Structure 1
Amino acid sequence: MCGIIGYTGARAVPPILLDGLKRLEYRGYDSSGMALAGAGMMAELKEVGKVARLEAALQAESGLREFTGCGIAHTRWATHGVPSTVNAHPHCDGKREFAIVHNGIVENHHELRSHLEKKGYRFRSQTDSEVIVHLIADAYNGDLLAATAAALRQVSGTYGLAVVSVHHPGLIVAARKGSPLVIGLGSGENLIASDIAALLTHTRQVIYLNDGDIAAISPESVDLRDISNVPVEREVANIDWDAAAAEKGNYPHFMLKEIFEQPETIENAIRGRINYEMGTAILNGLGFSPCELAQISRIVIAACGSSMHAGMVAEYYFEDIAGISTSVEQAAEFRYRNPIIEPNTLVIPISQSGETADTIAAVREAVGKGAYISALCNVVGSTIAREAGRGVYLHAGPEISVASTKAFSSQVAVLLLMALLLGRNRRLSRSEGCELVREIEQTPELIRSVLAQAEEIRAIAKRYAGFDDFFYIGRGCLYPTALEGALKLKEISYVHAEGYHAAELKHGPISLLDERHPVLALANDIPGRDKILGNIQECRARRAPVVAVATAGDREVENLTDDVIFIPHCSRFIAPLPTTVALQLFAYYIAVERGCEIDQPRNLAKSVTVE
């Protein structure tokens, strides 16, 4: 979850590290720090809190601001040890000859710490990470890469690691196992980062490290090896993201910018992927022939968080459109519950970053059980994309806000295309396929019409910003949409919100309803609407305020509820997309009214890269 950036080259190092940390701050923001390594000297600077505090501390260190050579930096999301200066990274050995930044978990750190303490090494922090730097110091015999490899062979767990030493000015050693790292290739300079967002302003040429890779990175070269010191080769990839896409522009928050980008990101997700004549989808990345598609008898979706909600929407798509039995599994449970993977099962792992630890584990379990794998990711070259071997990219561009918005809607759009392709391969007629294609094409305009109501939604949100508990209810594919809407409110406004299938109200939750518990009802004009109207009546009978999302012109819903957010008329398959955008805006404006830290909500990080 933490952010790592490293630089070696002729330019001043601290500004590059600070810029990288700012671009990585969504990965962790309880503390940050940097280490600058030169011949015979090691400078270390750490602060608790946001990167801005580290930047202010650096301004007071005039002798460090123009330092050249190499350096590593880190923004932390705490796992072992409370947020504090001493627990912040980098960590140095006792003689301050080596420094490391680490993302991951050292599972055997207690045993390693005890072993090192018996040898005389003194620990300053509560972190598991500190054992690594002492192991490197203990193993060092003139070769930094060899010492790092020797240290890591003793480590059980996961790591994305960068190491510098006073004995090797200009050299960064990086290693990866279960936590992402990518090398940025420059001219007379090179970088290392945990996310390509930190590299966009410097280079578009990158090398993604595989698990077990270790690299010696100097300004002029990159030497790649495995943990046994055997040379390996990795392809150089080109990043096609625009650096400006990772900037806020004129928006007050990344989240609002990314909400408003959704018409374009949906267009990017479907562009070139529709066969208008045949009423089907073109998804070459799936890598299946029509015959192989026809053999798929079951679909299992593995994901976490918002990605899991997208998968739950897709469960309705695959079953209704393609007639394929589908289940959605929480990725963290997938491998531990010994899932049954029958022949001709397609497993679809979904992850915006492609680096979600639990989803990676689910991919490996599915591969081991002989499933077909086809991934849904937003990051080219990510671990899930590479290990799955085939899949579909979202093309949503970098998503910086911790709360997922445009990635979620792009996932739903691509999953609908997959269902269309499978449906046409099986039971969907050409005319039905062409009708669904027309509906998919209209989605960006439907979303634009919702965004045009932003001020009206803001006014509604202002009236409800003082409430501390919400219920979200929906039916059909709007049930997981309700779950996603509740999640957004929880994530960024710290308001307790629960999503339920509307039929579940009477099975317990209705006992909580009163005038202090607003209900947000998804009452779109799709199958199940009449039942939702009955649920709204039940809520009103308990004096609960009701906000509805409804189809434009639905006066019946308007008369039954306290407030309504209208969306254009669309089919049950398309309805989750404009509805989700309305719920995103509602959550965003409540968070604004409550004065919350929207892009970096407390206790959360963008990519969950540790279990």
Structure 2
Amino acid sequence: MCGIVGYIGKQDASPIIIEGLRRLEYRGYDSAGICTLNGGEPQIRRAEGKLINLENILREQPAIGSRGIGHTRWATHGRPSEINAHPHRAGNIVVVHNGIIENYLKLKERLQGLGHNFCSETDTEIIAHLVEEHFRQCDDFETAVQLALAEVKGAYAVAILCNDEPDKLIAAKLGSPLVVGQGQGEYFVASDIPAMLSHTREMIFLEDGEIAVFTPEKMWVTDLVGQPVAKQSKTITWSPLMAEKGGYKHFMLKEIYEQPRALADTIAGRLQSEEGNIYLEDFGLSDAQLAGLDKIFIIACGTSWHAGLVGKFYIEKLARIPVEIDIASEFRYRDPIVTDKSLTILISQSGETADTLAALREAKGKGGKSVCICNVVDSSIARESDGVIYTHAGPEIGVASTKAFTTQLVALYLLALKLGRSCGTLTADSCRDKVEDLLALPRKLEETLELDEQIEKIARDSMNARDFLYLGRGNQYPIALEGALKLKEISYIHAEGYPAGEMKHGPIALIDENLPVVVLVPQNNIYDKVVSNMEEVCARGGKVIAITSGEESGLQGKVDTLIQVPQTTDDLMPILTSIPMQLLAYHIAVLKGTDVDQPRNLAKSVTVE
């Protein structure tokens, strides 16, 4: 995740950068740092932990200068520590970075062979040394950055200073957000608009593969080979609250659109592609402990429980360990059989859900091991579990969960891969293949979001229905449940999710021309079975909204409405089919005029039993 702020101008950079980092602290909690230039040695201050620790250091050791860069970090490569905190320096080059450098090991080996010595465990330090190496050869800061980034594979947003050319600040992006703020005789750069909005409303949005060079008087943008790129500034007219919403009408819509980035952040730093392994920081359990498990419990509430239902498919398929899935409020009242060979996986967006916390304590009291999947650092469930997998989704303000849900699915998939490798049921080659599919997922989410306009029209056509039925089979059944829950939560329309194969055992009596039936029918090994169930609905006059995958599904003309998401593996398809569910519920709620972000009777974090 991580947050970047940079400044070049006439003011003291340090307070501007700290203010910006404070607005970005949701992007990283485990360390922070700053570097300023003032005609002498670069002044670097870093601290482990939250931003307040860095502020305390700056009170004792101010960093003076009118050029500076700052960073707040969420660890990917290297444990949280002062030595791994950004900025990173090599000679007179200082760098802050958001993203992940996939080929950093190969680059590091080459640079070590050229005499470079590394101080940290991070991939970011490689960028500093790579720029320094090219600067030695060409003696030009801008050219050195271009040559260095041309060698880098992965995702990055960087801000870079060079003490030999102190009147320049260089920023670049590929796959990670970076925005430029234009002032009078000064420039700002940051990971998100709110970090700069108190100083300027003139923003320039960098695109992938662009490098921006700043002096206090001017800026210019090029591509990676130095060709000029024309940019236009945009005046931001948002109020502070709108700035937090990123210009979207509702937090929920903003969070739906943040999912490609959120998934990329959940994946970042956790894939060891060369070895075909999964690295989960703060996990707390060894491979030997995982290999000795004979049962897994997944415990959650609401949307997180739906994620857990998908997780059961993942774990049993990839690790071949039996999984029981429990609603948290029921778990401790059934006297579950938990042993020291059991693992309990707790899922909670907030990490404070009272029923889930009570279930955790029940499992631990019986001697079982525990790991939680959570979005909030240092929450109660995270502190009390033996290990934690943070989803890195960023703040989720809308009560109806969207990006927290899909990042939970990714976290569960990563955990299933790790279990499979630890238990010997998944080979390195097989894991590498699945990792490749996972890395392609954020882009496919972006493609799925392009269906928004089509789904808004479907919402207009069905907004007056009194009831909805959602059908799915296999790992799509939990997504049917989640789709129905989303609609209930924010539009107040009654909806039911049901296994498609069970429809004929009761719900088929409800079907008539007034009942919209959403059928999840991606192309997989049970496609024909679901189509058969769907035809039972069509035969009785039901209004079918079919969500399928790929371009040639064979359903054209057979249903009232067809939504086609990109094709991916069967394991990852629930993540893609979740998006139309979210958008349909959102647009119906907006059309009905309900309070989308704060629906009646609901709270974001349920901290009572």
Q: What is the TM-score with the length of structure 1 in the denominator?
A: 0.60
- Alpha-carbon separation, structure 2, partners of 1:527 and 1:445: 24
Specify which of 379, 388, 392 is matched with residue 391 of structure 1: 388
1:249 aligns with 2:250: no
Shift of 1:279: 2.2
Report if aligned partners of 2:523, 2:553 keep a CA contact under 8 Å in 1: no
Shift of 1:255: 0.2
Shift of 1:447: 0.5
Specify which of 502, 526, 529 is matched with residue 527 of structure 2: 529
Q: What residue is the counterpart of 1:380 in the other structure?
A: 377
Report if aligned partners of 2:523, 2:550 keep a CA contact under 8 Å in 1: no
Q: What residue is the counterpart of 1:448 in the other structure?
A: 446
Q: What residue is the counterpart of 2:323 in the other structure?
A: 326
Give the alignment of 1:172-571 within 5 angstroms.
244=194, 247-425=244-422, 426-571=424-569
Shift of 1:462: 1.3
* Deviations 1:396-454, CA, capped at 9 Å, x for gaps: 11100000000000000010000011112221122211111111111101100011121
- Alpha-carbon separation, structure 2, partners of 1:243 and 1:302: 37
Q: Which amino acid aligns with 1:391?
A: V
Give the alignment of 1:146-161 within 5 angstroms.
none
Q: What residue is the counterpart of 2:88 in the other structure?
A: none
Specify which of 584, 591, 599 is matched with residue 582 of structure 2: 584
- Alpha-carbon separation, structure 2, partners of 1:538 and 1:452: 30
- Alpha-carbon separation, structure 2, partners of 1:583 and 1:536: 18
Report if aligned partners of 2:487, 2:495 keep a CA contact under 8 Å in 1: yes
Shift of 1:527: 2.1
Shift of 1:543: 0.6
- Alpha-carbon separation, structure 2, partners of 1:562 and 1:546: 5
Shift of 1:558: 2.4
> Aligned with 1:560: secondary structure?
coil
Report if aligned partners of 2:284, 2:386 keep a CA contact under 8 Å in 1: no
Q: Which amino acid aligns with 2:287?
A: P
Shift of 1:284: 2.9
* Deviations 1:497-555, CA, capped at 9 Å, x for gaps: 10011111011111111111111000000121111100111001111100011012234
Q: Which amino acid aligns with 1:515?
A: E
- Alpha-carbon separation, structure 2, partners of 1:290 and 1:400: 36
Shift of 1:386: 0.5
> Aligned with 1:547: secondary structure?
strand
Gaps of 5+ in 1: 1-181, 189-203, 205-240
Shift of 1:342: 3.1
Q: Which portions of structure 1, spanning 4 or more consecutive aligned residues, are displaced by more than 3 angstroms?
A: 184-188, 241-246
Q: What residue is the counterpart of 1:131 in the other structure?
A: none
* Deviations 1:242-294, CA, capped at 9 Å, x for gaps: 89499112000000000000000000000000011122311132222221111
Report if aligned partners of 1:280, 1:437 keep a CA contact under 8 Å in 2: no
* Deviations 1:90-149, CA, capped at 9 Å, x for gaps: xxxxxxxxxxxxxxxxxxxxxxxxxxxxxxxxxxxxxxxxxxxxxxxxxxxxxxxxxxxx
Shift of 1:187: 9.2
- Alpha-carbon separation, structure 2, partners of 1:607 and 1:382: 12
Q: Which amino acid aligns with 1:351?
A: S
Q: CA RMSD of the aligned region, Å?
A: 2.3
Distance 1:538 1:301, change over 3 A: same
- Alpha-carbon separation, structure 2, partners of 1:290 and 1:555: 41
- Alpha-carbon separation, structure 2, partners of 1:429 and 1:289: 18
Which gives a bigger RCO, structure 1 or 2 (Cα 8 Å, sep 6+)? 1
- Alpha-carbon separation, structure 2, partners of 1:284 and 1:584: 30
Q: What is the TM-score with the length of structure 2 in the denominator?
A: 0.60
Report if aligned partners of 1:278, 1:433 keep a CA contact under 8 Å in 2: no
Q: What residue is the counterpart of 2:93 in the other structure?
A: none
Q: What residue is the counterpart of 1:228 in the other structure?
A: none
- Alpha-carbon separation, structure 2, partners of 1:486 and 1:572: 21
Q: What residue is the counterpart of 1:237 in the other structure?
A: none
Report if aligned partners of 1:299, 1:347 keep a CA contact under 8 Å in 2: yes
For these two proteins, the number of residue pairs brought into alignment is 380
Does 287-296 or 511-520 show the bigger shift? 287-296
- Alpha-carbon separation, structure 1, partners of 2:55 and 2:577: 47
Q: Which amino acid aligns with 2:386?
A: G
Q: What residue is the counterpart of 1:160 in the other structure?
A: none
Report if aligned partners of 1:523, 1:557 keep a CA contact under 8 Å in 2: no
* Deviations 1:27-50, CA, capped at 9 Å, x for gaps: xxxxxxxxxxxxxxxxxxxxxxxx
